[in-house]
Structure 1
Amino acid sequence: MKDRNDKLVFWGCFIALITTAFAFITRAFMVNDPGLWPETFGLNAVQGQELFQAGIWPFAISIILFSLIIDKIGYRSAMVFSFVCYAAYAILAFMAYGTVNAEGLDGQALKDAQAQAYKLLYIGSIILGLGNGTVEAYINPVVATMFNKDKTKWLNILHAGWPGGLVLGGILTILLGAKVADDWRVLIVIIAIPAIVFLLMLIKAKFPVNERVAAGATYREMLGEFGAIGAAIAAYLITKELGKVFGWADLTVIAIVAVLVIAYGLYCKSPGRPMMIFLCIVMFPLATTELGTDGAITGIMEGPLKEIGQNPLWVLIYTSAIMTVLRFFSGPIVHKLTPLGLLATCALLAIAGLFFLSMTTTLVAIFAAATLYGIGKTFFWPTTLGVVAEQFPKGGALTLNAIAGIGMLSVGIVGGPLIGAMQEKSVETAVQEKMAEGTYAKISKEDTYFLGKYNAIDGDKLKTLPQADQDKIGEVSTNAKQGALAKITIFPAIMLLCYLGLIFYFKSRGGYKPVEIGGDGGGH
């Protein structure tokens, strides 16, 4: 970093990313701890997850949409907007608290107050998600521009802020357990601290002019790098997610996507760079491997931790600490392996980690396998951003952030449900093998997801069985879901083949080299 301003901008962006991590982990804790939001606002499990998801989908959508205008409105405006979102979320959360804690509330009056408070929290969660996405929308192009000769290294260091924030936020949440139990607003204050810090650091800082803009590449050229095909992928995922929220029919989703893609294609007159489209598609198994498996792995590790009296949150803190340290020291690793070599190595480690996790049972063995997997997934996300920034500099903020948004949306629409269906299929097979004939048919129900129909155990039907059978099925189900991790290795295996293909492609062209923005974009 050249001077004090550069240091201020970089570390301000780093702390802004920590803020998003604080928001994520504190909300997860408040939604899932029965004594916090569920008790205060009378939430059931479905309402709790609706609140949590309300803070996720706006994140993915805003990171893409803001990228279309961020060079016009400026990074400072985007930064201020993200801070306003955090402030609005805090105000709405405090209002929700006050709504249900007014004097004299009881019976139906309390239920009405809880319903009103839920609306405040839901609106606040959407605003928070928009703020989190806006942070990503400006910090990625800012850092890629500041370090345009070493993008992959510095994007990895920047993105150490996410797991670093999870570590700090998780530890604070555990240490403040008693105070949080008395008043969960403490967790809202935790989010406010880094938000105020990054505002003070960046409000007067001088942001760099985006590399694309400084080089004179036009807005149309930026859109052309992503192209109509890239726009079709992003538009479908965005519209599909909004359709889930607002109850749109599939035909409506298709119609909206068609209009958006036709308009985009007519304006940019480009299908998009073939390699950019390829990397967008690879983002589906990447996001599934990195984010979609977290819940399954945490579930495997929670049992042994609870048996020794430890908070299951330590699982997330442990794996996040690994990622934080490794991302900070990514420079020599990237230099030694090249970005694509690093991605291929990580895919191989993720395969090994998931495979061993599928069969381990002791606490030590589980943590060892989780460590291997944690190392593997450490560099997936920021290194992919680095490759996109280095190979498509004319794509500016759009290509860099769109691929991140595609990853976030794909794991919710495709990856997560697919992993769930794979686990349920393993449970079905295991129960049929280890329980009396016809047992699974008695306790299961048919449901659908984007690839079609699947069967899953119905909790209400399960309760009709004798307690001994319920316990046995619970044990069989847990083991089957763990064993399903071996099947999930298909995702990093696909990634490994894709990265090896890219390595051979670049080798045929003289090796991997970052593209200079004055060139032709590398022709790929």
Structure 2
Amino acid sequence: MTQIHTSKLFWASCLALLVTSLSFGIRAGMMNQLAIDFHLSATQLGTITATAFWGFPLAIVIGGFIVDLIGMKRLLVMAFIFHLVGIALTIFAQGYWTLFFSTLLIGIANGTVEAACNPLIATLYPNNKTTRLNYFHLWFPGGIVIGTLLVTLFIYLGLGWKLQVAMMIIPTLVYGYLFSKLDFPVTERVSSGYTSSDMYKAVLSPLFIFMFVCMFGTAITELFTGQWIGLLLKNVTDNAILLLTLTTGIMVIGRGFAEPVVHRLAPQGVLLLSAIFAAAGLYMLSTFSGNSVFFAAIIFGIGVCYFWPTMIGFVAENIPKSGALGLNLMGGAGMFAVSIYTIFMGSFYDNLIVKHLPDGTTLESATTATENSSAALALAEAKNLAGPEVLQATLVIPIVLIIAFGGLVIYMRSRNKQSVNSDSYQRA
């Protein structure tokens, strides 16, 4: 009989997620340098960034369908291979298409990690799913904090972005080794005896479909803003990348103290308050300037802190028959929405910049203009105006989520009351 080392599997999962988040944090910090080195437009940068979000849902959805068949361990071996190849291709990138495919591979690796680890955490901690998923997912913002601080340090030391990317190889090798040595349990759905038919019925239920659609909004609010905050606000503050560090630092602290928050408010209550704070923070980020932007980043960080793990935790607790497929469809929905939104907003950002350029100045001429020329100064001013406008357009999403999660709180209160009344009737 194999022995399941719960704590070792949990910490190995956290390390795998750390690699996933490092890829986000380091890429967010080197976006401007990639644009300079490879002469990329905002639209091209948006497409490269989006490939990570394409690979993620592709891997996580496919993983959701096959994880019960091939096991979580084999999925994580695949993630390890994809991470190594993607990192190597990024280091030796020669232009747009190399960056495109290397980022796609890293996205596939990231999705495969979550395809295995989300159901693994739910299986390891069946009585404390949402809290443990928050603990696990604190390593996502934690890795972004580490990644952005590494970028800041390496830039200060004059070290290039290739060395920054190479740093990801170390935790990748460690998590690959750990998972190769550990035994894994079967998924919770399999151990609970729920059939595949039960699983497919669960993911077609109205409550699951509602949460699936809401995942679009929560993921865009958190991840699009996080990936683009340095680019959009670099002319509003001299330390734009540190805004991402501050926001994700708040997320690490919040997820670390998830247990009392989740137990007091329940997952649906946490989601409602998160949407309120996210909307307020996004509005502040788009209107404040100077050092006050850092206060806005704190409010926004509080808002998006619990979104991703609590959405998954809600499904794990309230729709358990959906199994690993349900959890992975949620993650896939989020990343797919971000990929589409990122491409759209990259083009939208370029158009806003053009709108704010002087008559007769094209984006191409302004981008290639010499430093301190009138065209270059005009471009900087146009970006200064366009960045906050992108955030203001995104503000609509968390406002809609406030209404949606307000309805969810009312629905769950009614459902829980009916459940209590039914239990009381049966006892009588």
Task: Give unpaired runs (5+ residues) of structure 2.
Answer: 368-372, 420-428
* In the alignment, structure 1 residue 498 sits paired with structure 2 residue 404: yes
Would the alpha carbon gap of residues 121 and 156 (structure 1) be closer, same or farther in structure 2, given more than 3 Å must change?
A: same
Shift of 1:189: 3.1
Which deviations, in whole Å up to 9, do the C-alpha atoms of 1:123-174 show, x marking residues without a partner? Answer: 4433322211100100100001111111111111110011111111222233
SS of 1:293 mapped into structure 2: helix
Conserved? CA contact 2:233–2:388, under 8 Å: no
Task: Give yes or no for contact 2:48–2:100 (8 Å, CA) kept in 1.
Answer: yes
Alignment of 1:406-425 (within 5 A): 406-414=333-341, 417=344, 421=348
Distance in 2 between residues matched to 1:222 and 1:301, nearest whole Å? 44
Q: Equivalents in 1 of 2:293, 2:418: separation in Å?
A: 37
Q: 1:74 to 1:425 in 2, by over 3 A?
A: same
The 4+ residue runs of structure 1 with deviation greater than 6 A are 467-470
Instruction: Report the secondary structure of 1:509's partner residue.
Output: helix
Instruction: Tell me the equivalent position of 2:103.
Output: 125
Paired amino acid for 2:40: N
Is this contact kept in 1: 2:46–2:342, CA < 8 A?
no
Residues 274 and 369 of structure 1: CA distance in aligned 2, closer, same or farther (over 3 Å): same
> Does structure 2 conserve the Cα–Cα contact (< 8 Å) formed by 1:292 and 1:416?
no
1:381 maps to 2:308: yes
Structure 1 residue identity aligned to 2:52: G
1:273–1:127: structure 2 CA closer, same or farther, 3 Å change rule?
same
Partner amino acid, structure 2, of 1:327: R
* Contact kept? 1:301, 1:366, Cα under 8 Å: no
Give the conservation status (yes or no) of the 8 Å contact 1:338–1:512: no
Contact 1:423 1:484 survives alignment (8 Å): no
* Preserved contact between residue 276 and residue 388 of structure 1 (Cα < 8 Å): yes
Is the CA contact 1:285–1:492 (under 8 Å) kept in the aligned structure 2? yes
Q: Deviations over 1:246-300 (max 9, x none)?
A: xxxxxxxxxxxxxxxxxxxxxxxxxx10011111111222222222333564345
1:154 aligns with 2:132: yes
Cα separation, 1, equivalents of 2:383 and 2:156: 34
> Does 1:44 pair with 2:60?
no
The unaligned stretches of length 5 or more in structure 1 are 98-113, 227-271, 432-438, 444-456, 514-524
1:196 to 146, 163, 173: 173
Q: For 1:512 and 1:319, locate their aligned partners in 2 and report how far apart those are by CA, in whole Å.
A: 39
Distance between the aligned counterparts of 1:469 and 1:185, measured in 2?
30
**1:340 maps to which residue?**
268
1:426 to 1:387, Cα distance in 2 relative to 1, 3 A: farther
Q: What does residue 79 of structure 1 align with?
A: 76
Q: Secondary structure at the match of 2:220?
A: helix
Could you say which residue in structure 1 is the equivalent of 2:193? 216
Report the AA paired with residue 277 of structure 1.
Answer: I
Aligned ranges 1:54-453 → 2 under 5 Å = 54-93=51-90, 96=92, 114=94, 122-177=100-155, 181=159, 184-226=161-203, 272-294=204-226, 297-299=229-231, 301-306=233-238, 310=239, 312-363=240-291, 365-414=292-341, 417=344, 421=348
For the residues of structure 1 that align with 2:287 and 2:30, how far apart are their CA atoms? 32
What are the Cα deviations for residues 209-229 of structure 1, in whole angstroms up to 9, with x where unaligned? 211101111123222322xxx
The structure-2 alpha-carbon separation of the partners of 1:373 and 1:48, relative to structure 1 and needing over 3 Å to count, comes to closer
Q: Is the 8 A contact 1:359 1:483 kept in 2?
A: no
- Normalization by structure 2: what TM-score? 0.84
> How far apart are the structure 1 equivalents of 2:350 and 2:47?
22
Distance 1:512 1:153 in 2: 25
Inter-CA distance 120–477: structure 2 relative to 1 (3 Å threshold): closer
* Structure 1 SS opposite 2:416: coil
Question: Which fold has the larger relative contact order, with Cα–Cα distance below 8 Å and residues 6 or more apart in sequence?
Answer: 2
Q: Which residue in the other structure is 2:426 paired with? A: none
Question: Structure 1 residues 383 and 64 mapped into 2: Cα distance closer, same or farther (>3 Å)?
Answer: same
Q: Secondary structure at the match of 2:183?
A: coil
Structure 2 letter corresponding to 1:492: P
Of residues 349-358 and 403-412 in structure 1, the stretch that sits farther from structure 2 once superposed is 349-358
Secondary structure of the 1:361 match is: coil
Contact in 2 for aligned 1:8/1:202 (Cα 8 Å) = no
Partner Cα distance (1:210, 1:320) in 2 = 30
Residue 485 to residue 166, structure 1, CA distance change in 2 (3 Å): closer
Aligned length: 413
One-letter amino acid matched to 2:234 = E
Alignment partners' CA distance in 1, 2:48 and 2:350 = 25
Name the structure 1 match of 2:6: 6
Contact 1:137 1:401 survives alignment (8 Å): yes
Aligned-residue offset at 1:197: 1.7
Change in 2 beyond 3 A, CA 1:476/1:50:
closer
Residues 284 and 415, structure 1, Cα contact 8 Å, conserved in 2: no
1:147 alignment partner AA: Y
CA contact (8 A) 2:86 2:103 kept: yes
Q: Distance in 1 between matches of 2:117 and 2:274?
A: 24
3-state SS of the aligned residue for 1:358? helix
Q: For residues 489 and 15 of structure 1, what CA distance do their matches in structure 2 show?
A: 33
Q: Aligned-pair distance for 1:50? A: 4.7
Post-superposition CA distance 1:392-433 (Å, at most 9, x none)? 1111111101111111111222476269749967996xx6xx
1:448 maps to which residue? none
Q: Deviations over 1:70-95 (max 9, x none)?
A: 1111111111111111222344456x
Deviation per CA, 1:368-408: give whole Å up to 9, x if none: 11211111111111110111111111111111011111111
Tell me: CA distance 1:344–1:419, structure 2 relative to 1, closer, same or farther (3 Å). farther
Residue type at the aligned position of 1:88: V
Determine the C-alpha separation between the residues in 2 that align with 1:78 and 1:481: 39
Helix, strand or coil for the counterpart of 2:193?
Answer: coil
Secondary structure at 2:168's aligned position in 1? helix
d(CA) in 1 for partners of 2:32, 2:383: 22
